[in-house]
Chain A
């Protein structure tokens, strides 16, 4: 690391292009909607910046408050499910033979490289009424019915007259399934990184001192992987909270999340100031979550140094 003064020319040459790009094509757009968020709609496309707080106040309308709550609820359940599924996966990979680990990790990450829209679309094909899940269930239903017929129990109609396909799509469950489907790798990666870094003799020491597997998991593994767990929770929660595509394509009319409301303000409802205010609220929540993560990381880094 050297002072920029030693090579001012090189410094400015590599500093200016990215910094200017960031200012003009990123910070400026964000500033524009920040200003818009204090404006009032005027006519069809006009915006009159009056520095009003009305847009922010409106976000606390019961109608929108409910959507915020719902978004938190969806993102929270998703994060929790990802943790519950992701932890065993991370443990499994960490304790696999070294030469298999990269392959196993790649298997979990690879779907992540596939287009989000295509993955969501693939999920629709699986979950819809005439989709593969229902098709498989129907097959089992018919087989089970066949067995009942064979046993002479068909007249009891134990399984109903006809197969009733499950409504798996266009509801809240579909949104959560979709969110877990998309965000699982976000959770597995930091968990794996934390477990992989951990000295395995801590676990052995705990077992050696008489603790069982569950005791060891909660008294040693979890506290030592704390930084990774918090990281995983937050980097799963943030994108899940701001999800647009998943609720849009998999959700029903009552499973809209914040991002869907924002999109509507900028497209069909054409109320940019309100949409801008909602965007900033979403960003503030994100920053808050990141701040928690940074704070927690500071607390644990001292411990990990030991």
Chain B
């Protein structure tokens, strides 16, 4: 019986290459219908291999993949109800835009009369109406990607797979295309699975993200949850910038854990009360404030010397080194055009934050 709440079910899937390399290691993920799902991770983490197993280009060494309740074991890529946008787009260079988009319909025996309107409709959807007779070498990179999208969507797949869809575009176009993809997904309403190594891309587009490392899913959560409540050092470090401090569980204080951080003293943090021994304390740079005269009442802080200031336009990152040699970064918003009370290198400042803004991480 197909489960209505699950479009793709990945069950304990493992992929080994040869005897030594395990690209995907017992991964289980359920993806819901209509979801914009992202597989995020550094290169070599197994995200692309996982996507290619869903598409049917790689076969799992173990485990099961179900699409809409149907086991994909033994089903060739051309018989799966999914379509893919390739990283290189793979727009056939010897066919016109129209023929590219029509190809998938032709090979699956869609009546000739139906092909024309459907191709036009699909080109319209990606804002390429009228481009049908063009050849791929007359298109820009962004347009070629739209052709790849139209070609996949025209088949009305249950799931659209996108392999690093924006990596070949320049920065400006990439941002526009992110919004475009989200709009497109709302319009067609099908499940999108996107593979990316760019955390900003994943955070801005996806409903849910699976962060992968070394073939395993480290955390599967919504963008906000991943950012505000990472469950391990890898995720905290990979998503956004973070200051990671070493600490030691000193005891409990009511509902909170008391963590001994060198140079600060015991800090009450909310988190898993079972944690013992060495732990990590992560604080995002924008959650920290620089103060000249020590932390406020509800804050804790570390005194450090400003080593470097990096200007990023909307914010500046101030890098400090404290007495223990730890490096800290603090984001200072540039509210005014002329920075009043400018921070200078060599000055001593307090990096202060409220304990509830810190995240407790297992060792």
**Real binding pair:** yes
Q: Which residues of A contact B (CB under 8 A)?
A: 199, 201-202, 204-212, 215, 219-220, 223-224, 226, 302-306
Whether A205 contacts B55 by the Cβ 8 Å rule is: no
Whether A208 contacts B136 by the Cβ 8 Å rule is: no
Question: B20 an interface residue at 8 Å Cβ cutoff?
Answer: no
Q: Which residues of B contact A (CB under 8 A)?
A: 55-57, 76-79, 82-84, 86-88, 90, 92-94, 103-104, 107-108, 135-137, 148, 151-152, 155
Q: Cα distance A224–B92 when bound, in Å? A: 9
Whether A212 contacts B86 by the Cβ 8 Å rule is: no
Whether B135 contacts A210 by the Cβ 8 Å rule is: no
- The number of inter-chain residue pairs (CB within 8 angstroms) is 77
Of the candidates A208, A220, A224, A303, the one whose C-beta lies within 8 Å of that of B137 is A303
Q: Cα distance A215–B77 when bound, in Å? A: 14
Q: Cα distance A201–B77 when bound, in Å? A: 13
The 8 sampled A-B contact pairs (Cβ below 8 Å) are A199-B90, A204-B57, A207-B56, A207-B78, A208-B82, A209-B103, A209-B155, A302-B137
Complex contacts, A208 vs chain B, CB 8 Å: 55, 77-78, 82-84, 152
Answer whether A199 and B83 are a contact pair too, CB < 8 Å, given A209-B151, A210-B78.
no
Answer whether A201 and B103 are a contact pair too, CB < 8 Å, given A207-B78, A305-B137.
no
Q: Cα distance A219–B106 when bound, in Å? A: 11
Whether A202 contacts B77 by the Cβ 8 Å rule is: no
Q: How far is the CB of B323 from chain A (nearest CB, A)?
A: 53
Please give 17 more A-B residue pairs, beta carbons under 8 A apart, in addition to A201-B86, A204-B90, A208-B77. A201-B87, A202-B90, A204-B84, A205-B86, A205-B90, A206-B92, A207-B78, A208-B84, A209-B103, A210-B78, A210-B79, A210-B104, A210-B107, A210-B108, A220-B92, A303-B135, A303-B137
Complex contacts, A201 vs chain B, CB 8 Å: 86-88, 90
Of the candidates B55, B78, B79, B94, the one whose C-beta lies within 8 Å of that of A224 is B94
Of the candidates B77, B87, B92, B137, the one whose C-beta lies within 8 Å of that of A207 is B77
Complex contacts, A305 vs chain B, CB 8 Å: 137
Q: Cα distance A211–B76 when bound, in Å? A: 10
Whether B103 contacts A211 by the Cβ 8 Å rule is: yes
Whether B107 contacts A202 by the Cβ 8 Å rule is: no
Whether A211 contacts B90 by the Cβ 8 Å rule is: no
Q: Cα distance A204–B55 when bound, in Å? A: 9
Complex contacts, B103 vs chain A, CB 8 Å: 206, 209, 211, 219
Of the candidates B77, B84, B136, the one whose C-beta lies within 8 Å of that of A306 is B136
Q: Cα distance A2–B103 when bound, in Å? A: 48
Q: How far is the CB of A292 from chain B (nearest CB, A)?
A: 19
Complex contacts, B93 vs chain A, CB 8 Å: 224, 303-304, 306
Whether A209 contacts B86 by the Cβ 8 Å rule is: no
Whether B107 contacts A211 by the Cβ 8 Å rule is: yes
Closest A residue, CB atoms, query B77: A207
Whether B83 contacts A215 by the Cβ 8 Å rule is: no
Q: How far is the CB of A207 from chain B (nearest CB, A)?
A: 4
Closest B residue, CB atoms, query A202: B90
Q: How far is the CB of A201 from chain B (nearest CB, A)?
A: 4
Whether B137 contacts A212 by the Cβ 8 Å rule is: no
Whether A212 contacts B94 by the Cβ 8 Å rule is: no
Complex contacts, A302 vs chain B, CB 8 Å: 137
Q: Cα distance A305–B56 when bound, in Å? A: 29
Closest A residue, CB atoms, query B18: A97
Q: How far is the CB of A91 from chain B (nearest CB, A)?
A: 17
Complex contacts, B86 vs chain A, CB 8 Å: 201, 204-205
Q: Cα distance A199–B94 when bound, in Å? A: 13
Q: Which of B76, B88, B107, B137: most chain A CB closer than 10 A?
A: B107
Q: How far is the CB of A96 from chain B (nearest CB, A)?
A: 14
Complex contacts, A209 vs chain B, CB 8 Å: 78, 83, 103-104, 107-108, 151-152, 155
Whether B87 contacts A306 by the Cβ 8 Å rule is: no
